[in-house]
Structure formats: C-alpha cells, structure tokens
Structure 1
Amino acid sequence: MQVFSLTYEYKLKPTSAQVARFEDWLEQCRRVYNYALAERKDWFKSRSCQINACSLQSEYIIPAETKRPTYASECQTLTAYRKTSGNLQRVQSQVLQQTLRRLEQAFVSMWEQGHGFPRFKKSRTMRSFVFPQVGIDAVRDGAIKLPVIGWIKFRQSRSIPDGAKLKQVRIVRRASGWFAMLTLQWDVSVPDVMPHGEALGVDVGISHLAAVSNGKLFPNPRPFNSLERKLRLLQQRVSRKVKGSNNRKKAQVKVSKLHERIANTRKNYYWLVAHNLCDWAGMIFVEDLKLKGLVRGFLGKHCLDAGWGQFFQVLEQCCRKRGVLFLKVDSKKTSQICPNCLVETGKKQLSERIHSCQHCRYTADRDVAAAQVVLIRGLAAVGHTVKMLSEGKAIALPAMKESPSL
C-alpha cells in the first residue's frame, strides 16, 4: 500500500516584474549552491593528503576537529549569513534551504549510485527552485499564489482533481517559457496491482522502438537524428557570435528551443505507445537493461536517441495510472533463445532480423521473438505456469505481423 501522488505541469504567464524576480532568485540559489559546494570541496581536499605532506600547489588549512559540512550545518550558516545579506533576504528562506538539500542529494547520489563529484553551476545553469510549502487555497481559477511573490496566472490546460492536496511547487525555466510543477497528493492508499488480464512482453531496439509479443512493431521516430543537421547549423552560428553579445544569446535560445522540441517529440511518442500497450493488456513485462553499458558502444548515439530509460519510466507511470501490472525481467540472452522450444540458438548478428530455430522450425521477427521470451520470463516471475508451445500451447504466440502506424 502506498500514498498516491502525481505531478501536474502548467505553463505560467508571469509579468515582466515577476520574471525579473524569478531570474534574481535563480541567481541567488546558484550562488548559495556554489558556496556550499566550495565549502564541502575544501573540506575534502584538506583531508586528501597525508598528515606529514602538503600539496605543492595549494594548502587547505582546516582544523582537524572541524566536522564534515552537512545539510544541517550549512542551513545554520545560511541562516546567520542571510541576516547580513540583502540579496539573500529577497529570496524566501525555504527556497534557499531546498537548494542546499539538492546539493546534499547530489552527494548521496555520488556515494550510493556511483555518480560523479558535484560540479559548480555556471551562469544560467540553475533552472529551477522549489517551494516546499504553500498556503491554503493557493490555486484558484487560472492563478497560483506563491510565498513572497504573490498571485501568478497560468494556463490551466487541465483541471486539478477534487480532494488533492498541494504539497510543493517547483518553478522551472525553459527555452519556451516558465512552468510550474505542482505535486499533488491524495490521502488514499492505492493497493499494488495484482496480475490480471492478458500479458504482453516488450523488447526495445533501434530499428523499432518497441516490439510486442503479439507481433506488433512500433517504429522508432529518431527525433534527434532527423533534426541533427539543423542543430549543427544552429550551434555553428552560436560559435561564430561574439561571446557576451546579444546576438549570441539569441542564437543560444534557438538551440535551446530545438533541444526542447526534440525532447517533447520523443516524450509525446512514448506516451502514445504506452497508452496503446495499456489498451491491450493487464500485465506488461520489459527487459531490465544495463543502459550505461549500452550507450558506451559504437551505437551509443542511436541508443541515446531511442531513450529506452525514459520510455520505461513513462510506461511504468502509464501502467500505474491505468491499473496495469508493470514488471522488469532478466534481459540475459533474450535474443538467443527460441520462444517456442526454449532452446538456445546462439548469438545472432545485427544484420539477422529473422529468428529461425533449427530445432523446432519456429520463425518470427527477431525482436518479436525476444519479446515473447520476455513474456515467458514475466509470466514465470508472477507465478504463472508456462508450458512450451509444442506441448500444450499454454501461450498463444502469433507469427510475424506488419508494423502498425500510430
């Protein structure tokens, strides 16, 4: 059982004064982030060399009894410094504290998930800030009330469901404007989805974004590949402009808008595919891929353009909203096993697009056959009895079909 929460995104319509305040707050958050990061970095460097040796380039003389900077200690320092700084007094205190919490999360990701050491934020690279608390009835007809800032109009593209509580608001700056991310929560417990209905296995690839065990093939839109030439031309124009000039800033905005267009095209297509899959099944199984290793190969650019990780996230969200069971299964040798007789057929070359088993003569599209193997593993994971097709035909696996169009 878990509490149900969703994030609704709306485009803001701020005034020029409100935009100027947003820009100032982002700059102050960036400076607080960099100052706190520098404090932590100096502490780590002061402990990186031996006690009887000093660095030839620089020395970080910090007393031995000084404890490692943490989120709590930096919040105390921020509170004391904010009393003497007029710039920080213009920013809501909880917004600055959430900036320090973001830095703390970056270090946790470095320690637990193997991410790199956090880096300093350059100018205009801080793109969002968070209000962890808002007032009661903060959202009315096409407007939201933020602490210190006041009422801001937004384009209410969809209504907020009744009974939802507004937990936090994130203000995001993008190339196309300012957006508000409203985190809504319901005081209801949503039970976990139980296995039910028809089951589908999904295999992702480059030639086709997704191959389904029922024979359906979803084409890969390749949004970056189709707009790569235009992006290269826009980036060349940026490099030829004088640094710091208005023309360079205008050219950079065009590059940012094109990147946003690519991302929106990709994400919109993911949601179309996810809803199609949820219309067909009550259980969806996908491969548990090691994406970091895949993007390091010679097809890394095409793997990143396909965006399998984001597709799995969107599919999981869609399944959760529509009551469909979503489960990841082992991806080992899914393309080397025959789904009909479960005999390992050996490794295939990338040019081999048809699966043909020499043992049982079963023939299907290579990606569809891999999706059928994923389906068998998923059914076994949820406790269903799986028989080979040649014995009892417990699973009806169709032959290869034509690719549908969305």
Structure 2
Amino acid sequence: MKTSYQYKIKPTKQQAEKIDKTLEMLRHQYNYLLAQRFDWYEMNRCPIDRCPLICHIPELKEQPNYYNQKASLVKLKIDRPWYKEIHSQALQEVPKRVELAFDRWVKGDVNGKKSGRPRFKGEGQYKTFTYTQFKQHHFVNNKITLSKIGDVKVIVHRPIPDGFKIKTVSITKKADGYYVTLCLEDATVPTIKPDFNPESITGIDVGLKEFLTTSEGETVAIPQHYRKSQKRLRVIQKRVSRRKKGSKRRQKAVKQLGKQHKKVADKRKDFHFKTANNLLKKYDVIAAEDLDVKGLARTRLAKSVLDAGWSSFLSILTNKAENAGLLVVPVKASGTSQDCSNCGVKVPKKLHERWHNCPHCGYSLDRDHNAAINIKNRAVGHSVLKAKSLLSSSRIVLEAYTYCEAEV
C-alpha cells in the first residue's frame, strides 16, 4: 500500500535561499528542454521528407526524448558549473516532467484525451523538486537531511505508521512557506480488508444545492468556501492591481493574495477529507458518478462547480478507500436524474425542477435522492463488486465448513 504524508518545514534563511535558487535553476532548465521539444516539433511535424524538385531539405535533427535530454545534463554541469549545487536526482526529474507534459499534448493520456500546449514557466511558477531515492536514517528527531541543502526542521504533526518506508521526498514552496511530502509504502498491508462487506453499499449524487445526497436520503450541506471569501479576495486583488508592477509593495500584496487563496483551498480540502472519512466509516462500497467536471466548468455554473471541487473530492474518496481496503465504484452519469428509481421509466425534468414525481408509478421524492438510488442500482451489477461478493460468500462457506469439521 502507498500513501503520502505532508509536513511543514522550517528552513533557516540560508536554506530557504538554497531552495529558492534550486527551484529557479530547475525552472530555467525546464524551459530550455521544452524549447528543444518545440523546435524539433515545428521543424519535423510534417511527415514528408522528400521533394520531387531540386531544392535543399535541411537534415532532420535527432528527436529530443527523455533519455538524450537526461544524458545532456552531464554536459550542462560542465558548461554551467553552478548546476552542480543541485542534487542529481532533482535535476534528472526535469526531463521527465517535460516528457510527460509534451506527450500529453501530442499523444494524449491512456484514454486518448489530449491536454493543452505546455507553457513555459515564469518566475516563481516552478514550485516542487523531488529526491527519487531516500534513506530512512535521514529523517529522525523531527529533522530531515536534504542533500545539498542540509538538516531542515520538520513539524511532525502525526507520526509515520510502523512498517512504512519512505520511497521519495518532495520539497514544495507554497504561499505560506515550505512543505515536504513523503511518499510511503508498506507491501505487507492488504489491498482489501479481510472483513470487506460488498452488501454495505451506498450511492452518492453530488450537486450544487447539497454537496452530496446518499441513496439513504442523507445530505451534506455545500460549504461554498470561495463564495464566502470573495469579499476579502476582492479587497486584496484591488490592492494588487493598484500597486506599481515590480515594486516591493506589489510583491507583498501578491504574497498576501496567495495566502488568502491557499486558505480557501485548505478549507475545501479539509472539508473533502472529513466528508470522505465519514462516508467510509459507514459503508464499505460507495458508488459515484463518473463526471466530466471539465465540461461542466465551461457552463454558466462554472464558479459554483469549481467551488464545490467535485473532481478533487472524488479523487480523495477513491484514494482513502484504497488505503482503507474499501471500494469506490464509478458509474455512468447520464440519465441518473431523469430515470425513475422505482420503475425505471424516464421522467424528463429541467434543472430547476428539484422534485421527482413519476406519472407511471406515482413514486415521489427529492430529485437528488432519486439520482443517488439510481447510482447505487447501477453499481450493484459492477463486475468488481460481483467478484468481491463471490469471494466474500466463498470465504463464509469455507469458514462454515471448517467449523462443521471441527465440531465433528
């Protein structure tokens, strides 16, 4: 099992300067390697490499990839000796990031979905570097030893669980300081709980009236963290816009604005974690809609959709379920609000109609509650859930058979 713990660190003034300098040099290298990719792509994007007329065709350059760009880092340290101040693992991560960003644009992900053209990172936009290998004895007594930086104080607000080993360490600069993220792994922890109950299942329907509604009719109120903070954000944003670009006072206002945005994001994240934890305490299986949040964010409800953070919540819920040995089942979202959960007949409703009244069977209940029941019903036939149910039933039969043999 893998999990991540994030702690705040308190570097000294000299250590903070080293971290900032490292991030800035990595940013320059990221932009340089990305420019290499763009140059090659613009010169070789056409598949035609022959001309029937007598003309000069330039020789094709070698295509930049992760391996030859990684190999070029050796020459980089010779030409620019100050890059020797950066740990080799943190530097080798840069071509990997460039490879991922470029491939998502050109080839797409495993589902074929492509991202936008990668952007060059401006000053302060490169915020994280990673040590891909880490020794356990470098994190003791609330201090972590970071190569090329030194021993840094860590605020350990919760201990690392017994048996877990640190695999990677990432240093991140945020609006309110510096953080370290530890990627932990313990191969002995089972992926599914021994007492997993596939019958303990609920469906959840996320919305803008209530954050979510379960198939049992329970609701969780939507907090609207961003909308409640808009007045304060507007004041600070005006302060930023009125100050001269490049001035110290503007930098101070920008930092204050970043802290306020982070405060909103932290509140939303805390709400998501607590809501996911409460659901997983009650149920072993949770069925949720497989939503296209990016598409919904292009509508006139974009601010409310992004403020709710459905995508982030479902990601947190899935990860916490995996760590707890439980299951989150994604189901197709289309028609869950329109179909009657009692008879299955489609009952068209506009968005402002918040109550489901079926003219065929007379079933009447809240629209979101009806959708949650449909989501649960669709998940019951899920192949993974069936497999877990068969395993659970076979385990019960085996235990009963063993018990009978012992009695005989």
* TM-score, scaled relative to structure 2: 0.87
Q: Is the counterpart of residue 11 in structure 1 residue 8 in structure 2?
A: yes
Who is 2:160 aligned against?
Answer: 160
Q: Is the counterpart of residue 285 in structure 1 residue 271 in structure 2?
A: no
What's the CA shift string for 1:51-82, capped at 9, x where partnerless? 799xxxxxxx9953422101111112121121
Q: How does 1:249-260 map to 2 (within 5 A)?
A: 249-260=251-262
Who is 1:295 aligned against?
Answer: 297
Q: Is the counterpart of residue 135 in structure 1 residue 132 in structure 2?
A: no
3-state secondary structure, aligned to 1:137: helix
Q: Distance in 2 between matches of 1:63 and 1:97?
A: 31
Q: Which moved more, 1:304-313 or 1:314-323?
A: 314-323
Q: Distance in 2 between matches of 1:213 and 1:344?
A: 18
Q: Which amino acid aligns with 1:351?
A: H
Name segments (4+ residues, structure 1) moved above 4 Å. Answer: 48-53, 192-195
3-state secondary structure, aligned to 2:35: helix
Aligned residues: 373
Q: Distance in 2 between matches of 1:190 and 1:64?
A: 55
3-state secondary structure, aligned to 2:334: coil
Q: Check whether the contact 1:206–1:220 (CA below 8 A) recurs between aligned residues.
A: yes
The structure carrying a bigger helix percent of its residues is 2
Q: Is the counterpart of residue 177 in structure 1 residue 204 in structure 2?
A: no
3-state secondary structure, aligned to 1:187: coil
Q: Is the counterpart of residue 31 in structure 1 residue 32 in structure 2?
A: no
CA displacement at 1:184 relative to structure 2: 0.8
Q: Distance in 2 between matches of 1:6 and 1:191?
A: 12
CA displacement at 1:266 relative to structure 2: 0.6
Who is 1:210 aligned against?
Answer: 212
3-state secondary structure, aligned to 2:186: strand
What's the CA shift string for 1:306-340, capped at 9, x where partnerless? 11100101111222233322100111100011111
Q: Distance in 2 between matches of 1:252 and 1:300?
A: 25
Q: Percent identity?
A: 34
Who is 2:103 aligned against?
Answer: 108
Q: Distance in 2 between matches of 1:199 and 1:52?
A: 62
* TM-score, scaled relative to structure 1: 0.88
Q: Check whether the contact 1:172–1:180 (CA below 8 A) recurs between aligned residues.
A: yes
Q: Distance in 2 between matches of 1:192 and 1:209?
A: 28
Q: Check whether the contact 1:134–1:147 (CA below 8 A) recurs between aligned residues.
A: no
Q: Distance in 1 between matches of 2:143 and 2:58?
A: 51
CA displacement at 1:148 relative to structure 2: 2.1
Who is 2:87 aligned against?
Answer: 92
CA displacement at 1:366 relative to structure 2: 0.7
Q: Distance in 1 between matches of 2:336 and 2:307?
A: 22
Who is 2:367 aligned against?
Answer: 366
3-state secondary structure, aligned to 1:37: helix
CA displacement at 1:48 relative to structure 2: 4.3
Q: Distance in 2 between matches of 1:166 and 1:213?
A: 39
Q: Which residues of structure 1 form unaligned runs of 5+?
A: 54-60, 385-406
Who is 1:43 aligned against?
Answer: 40
3-state secondary structure, aligned to 2:202: strand
Who is 1:394 aligned against?
Answer: none
3-state secondary structure, aligned to 1:188: coil
Q: Distance in 2 between matches of 1:107 and 1:245?
A: 35
What's the CA shift string for 1:272-322, capped at 9, x where partnerless? 111111122111100111222211111112111111100101111222233
Q: Distance in 2 between matches of 1:63 and 1:305?
A: 51
Who is 1:122 aligned against?
Answer: 122
Pairwise CA RMSD: 1.9
Who is 1:237 aligned against?
Answer: 239
Q: Check whether the contact 2:44–2:60 (CA below 8 A) recurs between aligned residues.
A: no
CA displacement at 1:225 relative to structure 2: 1.1
Q: Distance in 2 between matches of 1:284 and 1:245?
A: 51
Q: Which moved more, 1:348-357 or 1:188-197?
A: 188-197
Change (3 A) 1:198 1:136: closer
Q: 1:227 aligns with which of 205, 226, 229?
A: 229
Q: Check whether the contact 1:46–1:62 (CA below 8 A) recurs between aligned residues.
A: no
Q: Check whether the contact 1:107–1:118 (CA below 8 A) recurs between aligned residues.
A: yes
Q: Which moved more, 1:176-185 or 1:186-195?
A: 186-195
Q: Which moved more, 1:211-220 or 1:143-152?
A: 143-152
Who is 1:328 aligned against?
Answer: 330
Q: Which residues of structure 2 form unaligned runs of 5+?
A: 388-408
Who is 2:203 aligned against?
Answer: 201
3-state secondary structure, aligned to 2:145: strand
CA displacement at 1:233 relative to structure 2: 2.1
CA displacement at 1:92 relative to structure 2: 1.0
Q: Distance in 2 between matches of 1:267 and 1:273?
A: 10
Q: Check whether the contact 2:191–2:322 (CA below 8 A) recurs between aligned residues.
A: no
